[in-house]
């Protein structure tokens, strides 16, 4: 029996996770759910934002579904030493799972085009998956220092680090339009030259069916807004991916609708891209769509159940035609939108 660890977390996390867990139970009743603590609430109860019991559970499961962690700006959690803060729990979780590829699909739901900052005809064309390398590059490279009046960081990658994330991108492209754009800055960075070579070699030797382009990150930043329909799968290093994925995150019109997956060689981690939204927590109006679509990604990538994933995606689309939460300009509640998804699943 597949086992999924659910980490509702803080703020609106428990609200959106409740909806998403119901959806998961509806399409995959055989999946066993194991609820554990993470984040600020975990610290309050155990003294650690990533308790041992949580570590133990996530290391022995098939996938992890996460809500959100963190408090409001004035939360006492923010006065704790850094390793005890809620965000540290999330970083420790990602590290424990060794998830090196972050997947963020970006799409504008039919009917929600007018919420996108893009022109409606452009918004309709968007269907891109951004694959960001998550464990390497400048954020983790130990070659860094502040020395007197100067400072430096290093963006280091090994061939194997590039190879494993590129594989995730090529595999994902095989289930989509079979096009990968590898994003770098090979005109000025040595590390990009290595990146480019590894990705090209992998495509030539193992993925000849995939069309591969190499583009510069500055150019992609412009084209993602100007002609977003040109991209299918984008793969890039950690820092570039951080910036491009936040740029792309505004395209659907609400943070509340976007799912993500983080994959490694063990259990995958699935979570909405938004934070704990302290401004609306407890009001029952958070949009559960991003978390429900994260369940679809969980079924697809960790449990190999693409058909169920597609059922959920279709049900979410149908539900949004009936119920919209305030972030989408409606008056619906989390519970009502969740119920509409369950109802649509019942019809399908």
Q: Which active-site residues does the annotation give?
A: 139, 185, 218, 242, 246
Pairwise CA distance, residues 131 & 297, whole Å: 14
62 binds Mg ion (CB under 5 A): no
Pairwise CA distance, residues 294 & 298, whole Å: 6
Of 29, 279, 346, 347, which lies in the binding site for ligand NAI, with binding defined by CB under 6 A? 279
Of 176, 278, 322, 343, which lies in the binding site for ligand NAI, with binding defined by CB under 6 A? 278
280 binds ligand NAI (CB under 6 A): yes
Interface with Mg ion (CB under 5 A), residue total: 2
Of 17, 38, 61, 69, which lies in the binding site for ligand NAI, with binding defined by CB under 6 A? 69
Sheet of 32-35: strand order equals 32-35, 3-9, 63-68, 268-272, 259-263, 101-107, 127-133, 233-236, 179-184, 211-216
Pairwise CA distance, residues 275 & 271, whole Å: 10
242 binds, among ligand NAI, Mg ion, none (CB under 5 to 8 A by kind): Mg ion
Of 14, 252, 256, 268, which lies in the binding site for ligand NAI, with binding defined by CB under 6 A? 256
279 binds, among ligand NAI, Mg ion, none (CB under 5 to 8 A by kind): ligand NAI
Interface with ligand NAI (CB under 6 A), residue total: 23
Q: What is the DSSP letter of 152?
A: E
Q: Which stretch binds ligand NAI (CB under 6 A): 208-216, 218-226, 244-252, 283-291?
A: 283-291
Nearest to 253 by CA among 120, 125, 344, 129: 120
What burial letters (b/e) apply to 91-123, b meaning 16+ CB within 10 Å?
ebbbebbebbbbbbbbbbbeebbebbebeeebb
Q: What is the DSSP letter of 266?
A: S
Pairwise CA distance, residues 192 & 238, whole Å: 12
Q: Judged by CB, which is closer to ligand NAI: 2, or 278?
A: 278
Segment holding 59, helix H or strand E: helix 52-59
71 binds ligand NAI (CB under 6 A): yes
Helix, strand, coil in percent for the chain, rounding step 5 = 50, 20, 35
Tell me: is residue 10 an annotated ligand-binding position: no
HSE-up of 276 (CA within 13 Å, CB side)? Answer: 22
Q: Where in 109-138 is the site for ligand NAI (CB under 6 A)?
A: none
Tell me: is residue 166 an annotated ligand-binding position: no
Q: Judged by CB, which is closer to Mg ion: 32, or 246?
A: 246
Spatial contact of 219 and 181, defined as CB atoms under 8 Å apart: no
242 binds Mg ion (CB under 5 A): yes
287 binds, among ligand NAI, Mg ion, none (CB under 5 to 8 A by kind): ligand NAI
327 binds ligand NAI (CB under 6 A): yes
Q: Judged by CB, which is closer to Mg ion: 4, or 244?
A: 244
Instruction: Return the SS3 of 180.
Output: strand
330 binds ligand NAI (CB under 6 A): no
What burial letters (b/e) apply to 146-156, b meaning 16+ CB within 10 Å?
eeeeeeeeebe
Q: Judged by CB, which is closer to ligand NAI: 256, or 266?
A: 256
CB of 71 to ligand NAI, least distance (A): 5
Q: Judged by CB, which is closer to ligand NAI: 42, or 180?
A: 42
35: β partners: 6
Q: Judged by CB, which is closer to ligand NAI: 75, or 317?
A: 75
Q: Which stretch binds ligand NAI (CB under 6 A): 150-158, 184-192, 242-250, 282-290?
A: 282-290
Residues near ligand NAI, by CB under 6 A: 12, 16, 68-71, 87, 90, 255-256, 271, 274-280, 286-287, 290, 325, 327
Residues near Mg ion, by CB under 5 A: 242, 246
């Amino acid at each position: 029996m597949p086992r999924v660890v659910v980490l509702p977390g803080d703020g609106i996390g428990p609200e959106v996770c409740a909806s998403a867990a119901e959806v998961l139970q509806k399409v995959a009743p055989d999946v066993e759910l194991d609820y554990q603590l993470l984040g600020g609430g975990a610290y309050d109860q155990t003294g650690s934002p990533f308790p041992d019991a949580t570590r133990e559970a996530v290391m022995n499961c098939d996938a992890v579904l996460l809500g959100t962690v963190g408090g409001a700006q004035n939360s006492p959690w923010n006065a704790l030493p850094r390793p005890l803060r809620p965000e540290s729990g999330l970083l420790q979780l990602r590290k424990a799972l060794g998830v090196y590829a972050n997947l963020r699909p970006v799409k504008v739901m039919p009917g929600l085009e007018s919420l996108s900052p893009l022109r409606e005809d452009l918004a309709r064309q968007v269907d891109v998956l951004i694959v960001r390398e998550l464990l390497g590059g400048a954020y983790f490279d130990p070659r860094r220092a502040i020395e007197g009046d100067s400072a430096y960081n290093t963006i280091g990658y090994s061939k194997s680090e590039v190879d494993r994330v590129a594989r995730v991108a090529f595999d994902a492209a095989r289930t989509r339009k079979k096009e990968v754009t590898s994003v770098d800055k090979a005109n000025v960075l040595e590390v990009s030259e290595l990146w480019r070579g590894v990705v090209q070699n992998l495509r030539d030797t193992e993925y000849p069916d995939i069309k591969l382009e190499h583009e510069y990150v500055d150019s992609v930043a412009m084209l993602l807004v100007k002609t977003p329909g040109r991209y299918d799968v984008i793969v890039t290093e950690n820092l570039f991916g951080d910036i491009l994925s936040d740029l792309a995150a505004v395209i659907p019109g609400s943070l509340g609708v976007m799912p993500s997956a983080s994959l490694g060689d063990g259990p995958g981690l699935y979570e909405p891209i938004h934070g704990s939204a302290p401004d609306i927590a407890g009001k029952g109006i958070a949009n559960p769509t991003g978390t429900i679509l994260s369940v679809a990604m969980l079924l697809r990538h960790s449990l190999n159940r693409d058909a169920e994933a597609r059922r959920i995606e279709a049900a979410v689309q149908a539900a949004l035609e009936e119920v919209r939460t305030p972030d989408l300009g409606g008056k619906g509640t989390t519970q009502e939108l969740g119920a509409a998804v369950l109802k649509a699943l019942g019809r399908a």
